[in-house]
Amino acid sequence: MIFFDDKKRNFLEAAAFLFSAAVAVWLLVNAAVFWCFLFFFF
């Protein structure tokens, strides 16, 4: 049971890390697109 809980906790930590990384990449892409549009139009 302890092993199962440990595995579950590791899975949750990995999922949280992947989610935060995906959010960071999404924000970077949005910022890049915003600056590209800004420089293109102005």
Domain limits of the chain?
A: 1-42
Hey, what are 15's tokens?
């999922």
Residue bearing the bigger pLDDT, 26 or 39: 26
Query: pTM for the complete prediction?
Result: 0.61
Q: Which residue pairs, CB below 8 angstroms and at least 24 apart, start in 26-35?
A: none
Hey, what are 9's tokens?
């906790």
Q: What distance separates the 2 farthest-apart alpha carbons in the chain?
A: 61
Residue bearing the bigger pLDDT, 7 or 27: 27
Hey, what are 22's tokens?
């995906």
Query: How far is residue 35's CA from residue 14's CA, in Å, rounded to a whole number?
Result: 32
Task: Please compute the mean of the pLDDT values over residues 3-15 and round it to a whole number.
Answer: 83
For the chain, give the number of residues. 42
pLDDT at 31 over 60: yes
Query: How far is residue 36's CA from residue 21's CA, in Å, rounded to a whole number?
Result: 23
